[in-house]
Amino acid sequence: MDLLRVFGGARLAGDVDVVGAKNSALKLMAVTLLAPGRSVITNVPRITDIAIMAEVLRRLGCEVTSEGDRIEIDVPDECGTEADYDLVRRLRASICVLGPLLARRGHVRVAHPGGDAIGSRGLDMHVAGLRRMGADITSEHGFVIATVSERLHGATVWLDFPSVGATENLLMAAVLAKGTTEIDNAAREPEIVDICEMLTAMGAKIGGAGTSQLIVEGVDALRPVEHRTVGDRIVAGTWAFAAAMTRGEVTVHGVPVAHLEIALDKLVTAGAEVDPVGDGFRVRMGRRPTAVDIVTLPFPGFPTDLLPMAVGLAAVSEGASLITENIFDGRFMFIQELVRLGAEIRTDGHHAVVRGRERLSGAPVSATDIRAGAGLAVAALCGDGVTEVSHVHHIDRGYPTFAADLTGLGAHVERVQAPAEPVFGL
């Protein structure tokens, strides 16, 4: 198992390119199940989760090949209907095959998903919505089993919360349902819009993309297409916060300002200069950041996936910040690791009070999930000495060239093999 050795004291400066969004590409791969034939997805990040999703599709009978940032998926006329536990437990996004397989085949068996340890993320809204569309859904021996007697039908579905996963599953099911489906309180993330654009190119009839109300008129069949994945706003946000934390100047390419408006506005409030530049934006910070309060909310609010970077910024800012997490109940799990770097943080439920310090200090820490790992590595740049971040495989799931990108921006980072843990006996 590898670890990252991060040497503190770096000021990040330069340009960095951001590829396609992990949270979109994975779902676009599932979208291809709706149309027999060969679909192509480009601007796909080369990360572990994409490889796992490719294997999920292969076991469903698809041919999947990749070269560079391009993936070709050839979907058979009758694809499989079961997603096995050994893969699904490693990738929560694989639950998104539930909607398209049910719509295409009329029955599906998908293991309960795994993924990051950031709190409970139930399937209640997925199940309730599909049931309103005529599905019979049960849970047995760790599997979600869904069937429909003839064909899913249109329905009005109100989501209790604008869940991205539930919106995606219901949207993919609705495009082949009979009649019109209305999804109210739908998620509005750019990744949802990306899925809508691919589905529309395939022949789907969708209104309201990017709003809280999606109107889907079902069609009899879809056709395969080629589609380019939207840029990863979370990776872009990571570099934006890294620039501010290290008092640097970084130009991020591949993600528009509109996809990160509130996050970038928080950086401006903290003292940074943010300017649109071509296909991205530039962040400059010439002094120590000023403390800002941050509350995570569904898009267009502050992204929960950037919370570790927000806490890291607060840890080196002047003053005290109140950080509130409203999406995942386990998102604060990484905070004790940040405290090991010298951060002064107190938590109470879904609130964290962070009192900033001029410098942090290097220490061994462990990544608990994708974004926590990236956040710890960036925070380590603001410390004295060397920090070793273990369980770096988490970072690999969201950042295809994380260490190389840091190095390209002027950081001193080494990826090394972790020493074997000692074995103790009696």
**Active-site entry in 116, 194, 369, 405:** 116
Q: Is the pLDDT of residue 118 over 50?
A: no
Residues 245 and 353 in one domain: yes
pLDDT per residue as tens digits for the range 183-224: 999 999 999 999 999 999 999 999 999 999 999 999 999 999
366-374 mean pLDDT = 92
Confirm whether residue 305 is marked as ligand binding.
Answer: yes
Q: What is the average pLDDT value for the chain, to the nearest integer?
A: 92
Q: Are residues 93 and 6 in the same domain?
A: no
Question: Which residue, 211, 228, 245, sits at the end of a domain?
Answer: 228
Give dist(CA 62, CA 159) in Å, integer: 32
Q: Which residue has the higher pLDDT, 293 or 110?
A: 293
Instruction: Confirm whether 161 is domain-assigned.
Output: yes
Question: Taking 80 as the threshold, does the pLDDT of residue 329 lie above it?
Answer: no
Domain count, the chain: 2
Structural domain includes residue 424: no
Select from 199, 228, 257 the last residue of a domain: 228
Beta strands in 235-279 (DSSP E): 249-253, 273-277
- What phi-psi label fits residue 238: left (phi over 0), alpha (psi between -120 and 50 degrees) or beta? alpha
Residue 258's CB: how many other CB atoms inside 10 A? Answer: 11
pLDDT tens digits for range 124-151 = 889 899 999 999 998 887 788 899 988 9
Is 423 contained in some domain? no
Whether 357 and 222 share a structural domain = no
Q: Check whether 345 is labelled as a binding-site residue.
A: no
Q: Is 266 annotated as a binding residue?
A: no
2 is catalytic: no
Q: Are residues 310 and 296 in the same domain?
A: yes
Average pLDDT over residues 230-243: 98
* Whether 116 and 249 share a structural domain: no
Domain assignment present for 425: no
Instruction: Measure Cα distances from 57 to 24, 37, 64, 300, 361 in Å.
Output: 16, 13, 7, 31, 44
pTM score above 0.85: yes
Question: What does the pLDDT look like over 103-117, one tens digit per residue?
Answer: 999 999 888 765 434
Task: Tell me: do 211 and 247 sit in the same domain.
Answer: no
Could you tell me if 223 and 284 lie in one domain?
A: no
- Closest Cα partner for 140 from 165, 109, 163, 97? 109
Lowest mean pLDDT of 188-202, 283-297, 308-322, 323-337, name the range.
323-337
CATH number at residue 202: 3.65.10.10
Residue range of the domain that includes 99: 22-228
Instruction: Quote the tokens at residue 131.
Output: 């049931």
Q: Give the pLDDT score at 421.
A: 65
